[in-house]
Chains A and B, each alone.
Chain A
Amino acid sequence: MYFKDLTDFPENYGYLNARLRAHFSDFLGREDYRRLAGKSLEGIEVFLLETRYGKSFRKGLVEQPLSAHRRIEMALGETAADSLSHARKMAMGEPEDLLMVILSSADLHNGRLLLRFFFTGAIYDGNPLWHGYGTLPVSFFRKLWSSHSISHVIDRCLAFPHPLSRPLGKACSELRKGVALPASERVLLTGILAYLNVILDRHRSKDSGIVRDFLGRSIDIWNMNTWSRVISGSISKEKAAGLYIEKGSYLSIEKLNASAYPNQLLRSTPWEEILARSPSRSVAMIVSRATKLFWLWQISLRRRDPLGIGVAIGYCAHQLVEWQNLNALVVGIDMGLGVDSIMDKMIIPG
C-alpha cells in the first residue's frame, strides 16, 4: 500500500498545484475583458505584447506576414499550448496520467478537424490551428493533413507508435467506407475513451474518480447533442441509438430514449441548472449551455482540494476558456459588435 503510494508520487500534487496556483492570477477577469472589448484590433495587439502572450505574438510578427486577426489567433493558440504542455511536464506518477486524460481533448479536437476535412473534401492550402497540448504531436497531424488521400492517413495512423493514433485510423477507415461523419466521430471518441479508461484503471484514488466524472460529463454532452438532434427532427431515434455512447455520468441511454423534453431529461441531475438559466427551455440552446456549465464546473474544482487533481483541471479549463474568450473578443471586434454583445459570448468564471 505504502510502496504503491510512493510510485504514484502523491506529493507531486502539492508541488504541481503550488506551481499552477501561482499562475491563476495571470488569467484575465471580467473587467479586463470589458476594457479590451472596447478597443480596436490594434489595441488588442498592443495589450498582448505586454502580457504572457507577447512572446508568441512577437514570433508571429517576425516570422510570417499575416493579418492582425490571424496573428492574434496564432499567438493565443501557441501560448495556451505552451502553458498546458508546461503544466503536464511538471506532473509525475498519478497526476501525470490524469493530466494526460484531461488534455486528450486536444487529440480529439485535432482528430475531428481531420475527419471533417476529409468528409467535406474541402481544398485548403494552409494548416488549421491545431491544439498543441495533446499526447499526439502537432507534426503528426500536419503530416496527416498534407496526405494525398484518406488511405494514406489510415496507413500513417496505424503505423504511428502510439495507441491514441489507432482510433483516428479506424474512424478514417469508417469514413472511407461511406459512414456518416457523426458515426465516424463516434468511432474516434469511443476509441480514445477506451484508451483513457485503461490509463484510469491504473489508479483507484478519489482524484481518478474526479477524472472519471470529467469523462462521464463529456459523454453526457455528446449524448445531449445527439438527443437534441432527435428532438429537433434532424435524425431519427433509430439512428440516434447507434450514436449514443454508454457510461455518461448522469444521462443513461434509457433516459435519453425515454425523454421528449429538456426538463424530463435533465431533472434531478447536475445539468438541471441549464433549465434554471434558460427560461425558454429551447432544445437548441441546451448543448451550448451544457458546455458552458461543464467549463464552469471544471474551473470550480480548483477550490475543492488544494492537494488534488482539481487544481490542475481548473487551471487547464481556465486557460482554455481564456483562449476561447479572447478569440470571441477578436472576432467580435472584427465584426464591429458592441461591448455587451461580445461579453455575452464569453464564459467568465464567477
Chain B
Amino acid sequence: MEKAIIALAAALAVGIPAIATAYAQARIGSVGAGTIAEKPETAGIIIILEAIPETMVILGFVVAVMLILQFA
C-alpha cells in the first residue's frame, strides 16, 4: 500500500508540472513562431523563452526520482 502511495506521489510530481509545461510551451511556441516569422533575428531569445518552462518538469522529475529512491 505504501509503495502504491509513493508511486502515485512520484507520478503526480512529474505529471502535474508536465501538463503545466505543455500549456506554457504551447502558448510561448505559437507566439514565438509568429515572432520569428516576422523577425528572424529573435530566434535565439525565443528558443531560450521556449526552454524556460521545461525547468518545471525537470524539477518534477528530480522530485519523483528522490521520492522513489528515498522511500521505495
Contacts and interface: CB of A to CB of B under 8 A. Distances in A.
B31 to A, nearest CB: 4
Dominant SS among interface residues on chain A: helix
| Those 8 A-B pairs whose CB atoms lie nearest each other, nearest first | A18-B34, A22-B38, A14-B30, A14-B31, A11-B30, A15-B34, A19-B34, A15-B30
Interface string B25-43: 0111111111101110000
A19 B37 contact: yes
Given A18-B31, A18-B35, 4 more contacts: A16-B34, A17-B34, A19-B34, A19-B37
Contacts of B30: 11-15, 18
Contact of A11 (B26, B37, B38, B39): B26
B31 A22 contact: no
A15 B38 contact: no
A42 B48 CA distance: 48
Nearest to B31: A14
A18 B38 contact: yes
A22 B27 contact: no
Nearest to A20: B34
A89 interface: no
A22 B40 CA distance: 11
Interface in A89-130: none
B39 A22 contact: yes
Interface residues of B, number: 13
A13 B26 CA distance: 12
Contacts of A13: 30
Interface string A269-307: 000000000000000000000000000000000000001
Contacts of B27: 11, 14, 307
B26 A18 contact: no
A34 interface: no
Interface of B: 26-35, 37-39
B47 to A, nearest CB: 15
B38 A17 contact: no
A19 B38 contact: yes
B24 to A, nearest CB: 11
A23 interface: yes
B32 to A, nearest CB: 7
Nearest to B26: A11
Contacts of A15: 30-31, 33-34
- Residue picked from B27, B29, B30, B39, most chain A C-beta under 10 Å: B30
- Residue picked from B26, B31, B32, B33, most chain A C-beta under 10 Å: B31
Nearest to B46: A18
13 contacts: A12-B30, A14-B27, A14-B31, A14-B34, A17-B31, A17-B34, A18-B34, A19-B38, A22-B34, A22-B35, A22-B38, A22-B39, A307-B31
Interface in A5-31: 11-19, 22-23
A11 B30 CA distance: 6
Nearest to A12: B30
A15 B34 CA distance: 4
Nearest to A23: B38
A209 B46 CA distance: 31
Nearest to B39: A22
A15 B33 CA distance: 6
Nearest to B33: A15
